[in-house]
Amino acid sequence: MSEVSVPVLVVGGGGCGLAASIFLSDLGVGHLLVERRATTSALPRAHYLNQRTMEVFRQHGLAEDVYAVSAPLENIGEVVWRTSLAGDGPLDARDLHRMDSFGGGSTAAPYAEDSPGPSTNLPQHRLEPLLLRHATERAPGSLRFNHVMEGFTQDDSGVTALVTDRVTGESTTVRAQYLVAADGGRSVGTRLGVSMVGDGGAFNVISVHFSADLSAHWPGDKVLITNFVSPDGGRISRYGMVAMGPDWGLASQEWALHFHLPVGVTPETDDASVTATVRELLKLPDLDVTVHKVSQYIPEAVIADTFRVGRVFLAGDAAHRHPPATGLGLNSAVQDAHNLAWKLAAVVGGHAGEGLLDTYEPERRAVAERNVPWAMYAFRNHAVAHAGLGLFPGQPPEATKANFEALFSETPMGETRRVRAAEVFRTQRVEYQAHDIEIGIAYPEGAFVPDGTPPPPLDPMGAEHHPVTIPGHRLPHAWLDPGEQVSSHDLVGAHGGFALITGTSDGAWAVAAKQAADALGVPIAVAPVATGRWARVRGVDDGGAVLVRPDNHVAWRSGADGPDRLTDVLRRVLAHQSTGS
C-alpha cells in the first residue's frame, strides 16, 4: 500500500470539490482530490451561476472561460409561464405570464451596479469539465478520479484516509492535516454521525436531458426557463424547461425538462417512453428527440447539524441541500469552498491561528439558514401562482379546462382573472429576481472585528440589496477606473492577500499596513479610493479605511484614528492568541 502526505484531502470532485482544488492551488496549498466517478457528472443538474459565484470565478481567473461558453445575459433575462410549448387548440401555446429575470430586462440596472460579475447560465455537465481543466492545470497529478475514499480516522494532528483506485484496486493511505468533505453528503458526514436536519422528500423530480430543435417554438430568444401549466389536467400538468446550450436562446440544441411525480411512482425511463412523454408534453408529436439522460431526485431542504468535526469540514451539498428554486445549491457549494480555502491556507501556511477555522461554520451556516428555507419557499410558491390562475389541487380535468377558458375569455371577469393571475405571478420574483439573496451575504459572526453597526433592513422579498461595509458583509462592488475594468473586488487578488481601501490620504495607513503585513506574513494591498461609487458606499470618512479579507468580505473598518490598531485587528481576524484588541 502506498502512502501520500498532503496538507489537505478533498473528497469529491463535483462543483464544490473542484472549486476547492482551484482555490487551494491559487493559495499555494498542496492537496489531493479524490473522486469516485470516472469523469465529471454527465447530468446537467444545476445551471444558473449567480453574481457572487461569478465574482469568485473572476477573482480566480475562471470567469472569462465560463462566459465564453455560458449563456449571455440577453439569453437568460426572461422567464415565461405558458400552457404548452406548441399545439393548435384554443388553449395551446398561450402565455400566462412573463417575468424579467437574473439581471435582464427591468432588473438590469441594480444587478449591473452591484457586481462586476454578470450572472450567467452554464449547466453542470459543461461547468465541471471546465473546472476540472483549471484544477488540473494548477495541480497536475493532484486530482484522482476513479478513486474512492473508503474510510478515515483522525487524531490531534491530522486525518488518515484509505483511498482505493477503482480501476487497479490499489489502496493508498493519505495523511492530511485537514479533510474537506465535498462529497455531496454521501459518505463522510454519515461516517461521522452528522445528521441532516430539515424538510423535504415529499416528491420526486424527474429530469430529462435531451436534444431537439425547438427554435420555431421556444417562447423567445431571451427566455431561459419556461414553466408550463397545462389546461388538459393530464397525468403531468405542471412541468418546466430550461435551455441548456451549447448555443443559447432559440438556438439552444439541448434542453432539460423537469416534472414531478409522487415519491414511489417510478416513470418509464427507456428512450422510447421518455421520447413519447417529451412529445406529448410539448405537443410536438413529430419532434426529433435525442434523449441523453433521465434522472430522478427528491428535493430536500436540509442543513447538517454540524459543518465541522475535528479536522473534517463539510462543504456544499454535504453541509446543506436545497430544492432547485433560486439555483442556490451549486452556487453555495462554490462559495463554501471559497470561504474555507483562504482560512485553510492561512492556517496551513502558519499565518493564522487554528481558531480561524472555527469561523467557517458560523459564517456559512448563517448563509445556509437563509438560503435553504428560501429555496423551499420559492419552490412551493409555484403552487401560489397556480392558485392565482384559479387552480386547486385535486381539481377534475374538466374544471381545470373550464378555468382556463374563463381565464382567457374576453369578458370583464376574464380580465379580472388575468389581472389577479399577473399580481400573484409577480410573487415568484422570490425565485427569479432574488438579487439580495444572491449577493447580500452577511456574516453575523466570524473572522472579522464588528463595529456594532446594525445590518440594513432585509427586503422580505429578497430583491433589494443594500451595499454596506459593515464588517462581515460582502464587500460592495465599485468600479475604480473610468474604463470599468478594475473593481473593488480585484484588490485582494487570488493568493490570500488582504486589501486596505483608504480615503484621500493613505500615509499613516500605508505605514500601518506595512507593519501589519510584516508582523503577520500576509500581504496587504493599500488602495486609496475617494471618488465614484466607492465614496458613496464606503461608510467611512476620507481619513478612514476598510480592511478587506482575501474572500472579499469586510474584516474591519475604522475612522482616521485606526492605523495604530491595524496590526492588532489583523491578529484578531487571523485568530492569533496574543491580541490586545
Ligand X SMILES: Cc1cc2nc3c(=O)[nH]c(=O)nc-3n(C[C@H](O)[C@H](O)[C@H](O)COP(=O)(O)OP(=O)(O)OC[C@H]3O[C@@H](n4cnc5c(N)ncnc54)[C@H](O)[C@@H]3O)c2cc1C
CB of 207 to ligand X, least distance (A): 5
Of 4, 30, 37, 94, the residue at the interface with ligand X (CB under 6 A) is 37
Q: In angstroms, what is the minimal distance from the CB of 233 to ligand X?
A: 26
Distance of closest approach, residue 173 Cβ to ligand X, in angstroms: 15
Exposed/middle/buried for 473, CB within 10 Å: 0-12, 13-18, 19+? buried
The single residue among 6, 7, 8, 17 that binds ligand X, judged by CB under 6 A, is: 17
Residue type, 432: Y
**How, if at all, do strands 312-314 and 223-229 pair?**
unpaired
Among 9, 10, 16, 99, binds ligand X (CB under 6 A): 16
Best CA proximity match to 175, nearest among 351, 1, 361, 346: 1
Binding to ligand X, residues 206-225 (CB under 6 A)? 207
- By the 8 A CB rule, do 230 and 83 touch? yes
15 binds ligand X, rule: CB under 6 A: yes
Rg (CA), the chain: 25
Contact 574, 356 (CB under 8 A): yes
Q: Which is nearer to ligand X, 231 or 299 (CB)?
A: 299
For residue 520, which of 444, 575, 465 has the smallest C-alpha distance?
575
Contact 160, 310 (CB under 8 A): no
Of 186, 495, 514, 536, the residue at the interface with ligand X (CB under 6 A) is: 186
DSSP assignment of 328-382: -HHHHHHHHHHHHHHHHHHHHTTSS-GGGGGGHHHHHHHHHHHHHHHHHHHHHHH
Q: Does 408 bind ligand X (CB under 6 A)?
A: no
Distance CA 215, CA 416 (A): 33
C-alpha torsion sign, points 102, 105, 111, 115: positive
Q: Which stretch binds ligand X (CB under 6 A): 92-100, 181-189, 231-239, 353-361?
A: 181-189
Q: Does 330 bind ligand X (CB under 6 A)?
A: yes
Quick note: the x/- pattern for ligand X over 146-175, rule CB under 6 A, is --xx--------------------------
Toward ligand X, which CB reaches closer, 7 or 14?
14
**Residue whose CB is less far from ligand X, 441 or 566:** 441
Q: What is the largest CA-CA distance in the chain?
A: 79
Q: Which is nearer to ligand X, 296 or 453 (CB)?
A: 296
> Please, what is the minimum distance in Å from the beta carbon of residue 295 to ligand X?
5
The answer to whether residue 46 forms part of the interface with ligand X (CB under 6 A) is yes
- Using the rule CB under 6 A, which residue among 12, 117, 189, 503 binds ligand X? 12
Find cell 486596505 and name the residue. 500
Binding of ligand X at residue 245 (CB under 6 A)? no
* Pair 71, 121: CB distance under 8 Å: yes
Q: Pick from 327, 353, 467, 496: which binds ligand X (CB under 6 A)?
A: 327
Give the range of 112-120, 152-160, 320-328, 509-517 binding ligand X by CB under 6 A: 320-328
Q: Does 292 bind ligand X (CB under 6 A)?
A: no
Which residue stretch of 29-37, 345-353, 498-506, 510-518 sits at the interface with ligand X (rule: CB under 6 A)?
29-37
Q: How far apart are CA 277 and CA 507, in angstroms?
A: 69
Interaction of residue 176 with ligand X, rule CB under 6 A: no
The contact pattern for ligand X, residues 121-150, with x = CB under 6 A and - = no contact, is ---x-----------------------xx-
- Could you say which of 6, 8, 32, 35 contacts ligand X (CB under 6 A)? 35
**What share of residues in the chain are helix, strand, coil (percent, to 5)?**
35, 25, 40
| Phi, psi dihedrals of residue 223, rounded to the nearest 5° | -85, 125
Which residues bind to ligand X, rule: CB under 6 A? Answer: 11-17, 34-37, 43, 45-47, 124, 148-149, 182-184, 186-187, 207, 295, 297, 316-317, 324, 327-330, 333
